[in-house]
Structure 1
Amino acid sequence: MRETVQLAIMFADIAGSTKLFETVGDTKAREITSRCIDLLKRVTQDHGGRVVKTIGDEVMCTFPSSDRAADASVKMQEEVGAHGLRWGTDLKIRVGFHFGEVIQENDDVFGDAVNLAARMSGQAKGDQIITTGETMACLSPRLKNKCRKLLTTMVKGKTAPIGIVELTWGEEEELTIMAGHSRSITQHNTGPTMSISFEGRVITLCHADPVVSFGRGSTNTFVVPDSMSSRVHARIEFRGGQIYLVDQSTNGTYVQLSNGEPPILVHREERPIEGAGVIGLGRVVTPNDPLAVHFQ
C-alpha cells in the first residue's frame, strides 16, 4: 500500500568503521559492529520507531514524531558510549534526522525528507546528532532547549538554504562532573615543551605527555563550555619535536598570537604552532576572555 505520511527519518552509522577494522582486525570488528547495529535497532524499537533497513554499518529508521526521534538519538549515543568501553573500543556513532512528508510503500520510505535526513547524517561527526532548523521548530521546549544552531548552508537538491542544528546531549552532567577539577597541574619534563592553561589548570605538553584535547565533552583534557565549541573540538599534539594544532570541529579554531598578527583560522586541518598566544574554540578570543585557552 502506498501512502503519504509525516514521519521523522533517521540515519545512524558507526564513525570510523574502516579504522576499527584496521585496529582490531576483521573478526573482532565484525563482532563489534554487529553488536552496535543490534543496539541501535533495540533503541529504535524502545522509542516507538521502526527499522526500515540496515546498509553496511548504518541503520535507517522512522519515528512517528520528531520528539521520539530526538530522544532515541540521545539514547543511542549514551548506549554506544557505555557499551563501547565494554567492547574494548572507543566506538562512536553519527546521527542525523529530519521530520517531514514521505511516501511509505512496501515497508520502505521515499521522498525529499529521506534525502534531507541522509544529508544531516553526513554533516554529523562521531558523538554528534544533527538535524534541520525545520525539525527543531517541531520539537517540544524540553528538546528545543538542547539544540544549538550551527550554520545555514545550501544542501544538494534544495533551492533554499537549510539550517543545520546540533542536538546536544550529556552536557549538563559533564559540566557538573568537571566543576571541581580546575586545580593547577604542572608536569616537569626535559626537552621541548608547551604550557597550556585554562581556568587555572595548567598542563605541560611534551614528549612524555604528547596530546591535550579541547571541547564541550567530558572526555577532553580541557572542557570548554562555549556554545560555539564542538563536543570534540580540537587537540594540540607534540610530534617529532614540533607542536601541532589539529582542528576537528564545525566552526573551526582561532589562534591569536601575542605578536599582534591577525588571528589564524584552523578548520578541519592541522597547523604547527609556536610562541605564545590564545586559542578560541569557534570564535576569536582575547587574552582576557574567560573562554580563552592560553599557550606558551
Structure 2
Amino acid sequence: MSHSRPQTILFADVSGSTRLFESRGDVEARRLIAAVLDALTQVCQQHGGRVIKTIGDEIMCTFPGALNGVLAACDMQRRMGRDINFVRDSLAVRIGLHHGDALEEADGDVYGDAVNTAARMASLAKREQVVTTAATYDSLSGKVPEARSLGKARVSGKLLPIEIVDLVWQEDTSGMTMVQSAVRIGDLPGTGAVLKLRHRGQTVELKPESEPFAMGREPSNHLTVEADWVSRTHATIEYKRGHFMIADRSTNGTYVRIGEDDEQKVHRDELHLRKSGTISLGQSFGVNTGDIIYFDAD
C-alpha cells in the first residue's frame, strides 16, 4: 500500500558519460561509472539515506530530512574531488535535490511532485555542482553550506517558475561571493531578457519565465523541422543560470553559429546563446540551405 510523506529526493549522475563511452570503450566506461555509483551509495548511506535505484549513469536516493540530503550531496562532490581514481579519469557528477511530499510504494520506489522537482534540479546542474530549490535551502537550520542564487527555473506541473540555488560545497571558498539565502527574483539582473527566434516567416519571443522551447521533427514540438536528419525531439532552448541555453538531445547534433564565429557542433551538451546567430538542426550550415533558425538575444 502506498503512502505519502515528506522526504528529500536526490538525483546524481555522471557528467559527460557519453564522451566516456566514446573515449574509453563500453567495458571500461561501465566499470568506471559503476565505481562512481558505488562511492555515491556509500556516502548516501553514511547520511542516513536510502538508494532507490540506479539507472545507467544515474543514482536516485531519499533522505529523511533536507539537511541529510544537502550534507550528503556536498560530501558526494567532495568524495569525487578527493578520490585519485576519479580525478585521474576526470570523472565528476552533477547533483539535484528537493525536499517535499513524495508517494512511497510498497516496493520502496517513490513518485510525485518532490521526485519531479528533484529530477529537474539535477537536469539544471552542471558538472561538480549541487542545485536545489530555494524552499529546500531556506528550510535548513544550524550549520549549513552557503548558497548562491541561480535565479528561477520552470518545473513541470508548477504554474510559475521557482527559485533555485547552487550549494557551495568546496572547502576552499576564497575569492567566491556567497549569499546565505536565495535572492528574490525581482532583484536579479537579466530578468527582462528576451530571445527572438525566426524560422520560415515564423517569429517567437522567449522570456526567462517561458517554458522550455522544444524543436524537432514531431508536430508536438514548439517548432517543427521536417527532415530525415532531424530527431523527433532534437533540441530545447531554456533560460537557466541567467542565460538562454540550447541543449542538444539528438542523434546528429545541433550546429550553432554566433555572429561571424565558426560554427560549433553541440551534441548531447548545451551552449549559451549570446548576441545573435543561427541554428541548424542535424546538419552543418554548409549542407543545410533551407531550415536555418535565426536568433537574437537582447
SS at match of 1:97: strand
Q: Deviations over 1:78-117 (max 9, x none)?
A: 1112225457311110100000011111201111111000
Q: What is the RMSD of the two structures over their aligned residues, measured on CA atoms?
A: 2.5
Contact 1:150 1:250 in 2 (8 A): yes
Q: Which residue of 2 aligns with 1:7?
A: 7
SS at match of 1:34: helix
SS at match of 1:91: coil
Q: CA deviation at 1:251?
A: 3.7
Q: Mark the CA change 1:132 to 1:87 in structure 2 (over 3 Å): closer, same or farther.
A: closer
SS at match of 1:173: coil
Q: CA deviation at 1:22?
A: 1.4
Q: Which residue of 1 aligns with 2:44?
A: 44
Q: TM-score, normalised by structure 1?
A: 0.59
Q: Which residue of 2 aligns with 1:250?
A: 241
Q: CA deviation at 1:174?
A: 4.7
Q: Which residue of 1 aligns with 2:209?
A: none
Q: Which residue of 2 aligns with 1:173?
A: 172
What are the equivalent positions in structure 2 for 1:1-296 lying under 5 Å apart? 1-83=1-83, 85=85, 88-105=88-105, 106-143=107-144, 146-170=146-170, 172-175=171-174, 225-226=176-177, 250-251=241-242, 268-269=271-272
In structure 2, runs of 5+ residues without a counterpart are 180-239, 244-269, 275-298
Counterpart-to-counterpart distance in 2, 1:12 and 1:127: 10
Counterpart-to-counterpart distance in 1, 2:132 and 2:81: 20
Which amino acid in the other structure matches residue 70 of structure 2? Answer: A
Q: CA deviation at 1:129?
A: 0.2
Q: Which residue of 1 aligns with 2:212?
A: none
Alignment length (residue pairs): 189
Contact 1:132 1:162 in 2 (8 A): yes
Q: CA deviation at 1:64?
A: 0.3
Q: Deviations over 1:221-240 (max 9, x none)?
A: xxx63459xxxxxxxxxxxx
Contact 2:52 2:60 in 1 (8 A): yes
Q: TM-score, normalised by structure 2?
A: 0.58
Q: Mark the CA change 1:31 to 1:84 in structure 2 (over 3 Å): closer, same or farther.
A: farther
In structure 1, runs of 5+ residues without a counterpart are 176-223, 229-248, 253-266, 272-296
Contact 1:84 1:90 in 2 (8 A): no
Q: Mark the CA change 1:87 to 1:165 in structure 2 (over 3 Å): closer, same or farther.
A: closer
Contact 1:148 1:227 in 2 (8 A): yes
